Amino acid sequence: MGRILAIDYGRKRCGVAVTDTLQIIAGGLATVATHELLKFITDYSNKEDVDQIIIGLPKQMNNEASESMKYIKPFVASLKKMNIVKSLSVLKMSI
């Protein structure tokens, strides 16, 4: 079973978390400069078996998409083109 990689996408830096190989426990992996994130994911997925990448979907308090979405959508499109993992999810986060 491969790992699940979770990304908290930011304009300057992104937080990356990963599960163990049994997908039971997740922990912080790294904080990566946004312009280096695709390379980081590629390098990590070459070293470790990654089944899924999950990207948080930021919302404002009125439930509208946050300003960050204009940066996340192109990133997700680039990630899909790379065809690195079996599954790519953009999650809706609620409070």
pLDDT tens by residue, 19-48: 999 999 999 999 999 999 999 999 999 999
pLDDT higher than 60, residue 72? yes
- Of these ranges, 6-15, 54-63, 67-76, 79-88, the one predicted with the greatest mean pLDDT is 6-15
What is the CA angle 33-37-42, rounded to 5?
145
**Cα-based torsion angle of the residue sequence 56, 44, 2, 71 in order, rounded to the nearest 10 degrees:** 20
pLDDT higher than 50, residue 93? no
pLDDT at 70: 87
Percent of the chain with pLDDT over 90: 47
